[in-house]
Structure 1
Amino acid sequence: MTEPAISEVSPTIVAAVERLMRRVEDFPAAGVQFCDLTPVLADPDGFAAVVDGLVGSHEVGSVDYVAGLDARGFLLAGAVAVRLHTGVLAIRKAGKLPPPVHSRSYELEYGAATLELPADGLDLRGKRVLVVDDVLATGGTLGAAVGLLDDCGAVVAGLSVVLEVPGLGGRDRLADTPLTCLTVA
């Protein structure tokens, strides 16, 4: 397995996330440590540091859209899109958008899920998209988002996440797409 590469991220950003993140033992199940990013996002300096880190090496004009995954990814993608002076895409969970939609289903540890984008009013062919989310674990959701955008003709320019849970195969599953991770669980 490839080790998470966080060396390109500013130590100040990593320190802000680590200082503010709340770790909860045995949630949602015994033996699991939940990393709550809510305090990071609630802190103005912490939120600004996270947004700076998620922007990473991308510059204004390098992407056409920033896509956020339902739901915490929406908060992050909106802020990143403002910094990159681009539009934002909300990649929704199934059933949240009126038809017609583009959809991509995928397997989860505990079942299946589907992501959707509008099929009308949005032409993504050839558009460069940065995908933003809060956590990378198994890579199922981010992988489905990449597949959905590919299906729509977009070019995924990269993935940016706040936190990676190592050892679950997410990074390996997404090895073909540039990934920025701010810190590891």
Structure 2
Amino acid sequence: AVVTDDEIVDVDDNFMDPQLCATMACDIYKHLRASEAKKRPSTDFMERVQKDINSSMRAILIDWLVEVAEEYRLVPDTMYLAVNYIDRYLSGNTMDRQRLQLLGVACMMIAAKYEEICAPQVEEFCYITDNTYFKEEVLQMESAVLNYLKFEMTAPTAKCFLRRFVRAAQGVNEV
């Protein structure tokens, strides 16, 4: 089948909506893809780096963090970023299972500071762990994560690309 020009949908044709950034959209998404490649966690960190934790422990942590995000009514971007920080940190640092939840709350706190208008305080992150960790421990882990990530907190997540993909999919259906 031959595709003609009238069958190709331009998802960047709405110049009237300033939020869509139609004139810069291609450049923005090229930059996001390049940034995503640089800030992507390794694909085999569980097998290569981690000795005391496994993928099901990570999954339990992420499920719990989803509940935390819902409890504190955090925006979805915060959750996506927190998972990115966790995986990037685990890609280069061994973690024992007793401190995995500490890593999770520290990454969630960093992401909340980055994304939220009113982020929960460190004491709230201690409380949500049933005070398993002291304020100082959470702050030390926050510092360790920030230093390991070289303070490169802006990271494209799946959510960054979702709006554009949905527009493209809807455009295909309209043809």
Quick check: TM above 0.5? no
The alignment's TM-score, normalised by the length of structure 1, stands at 0.27
More helix as a share of residues: 2
**Higher alpha-carbon Rg:** 2
Q: Which has the higher strand share?
A: 1
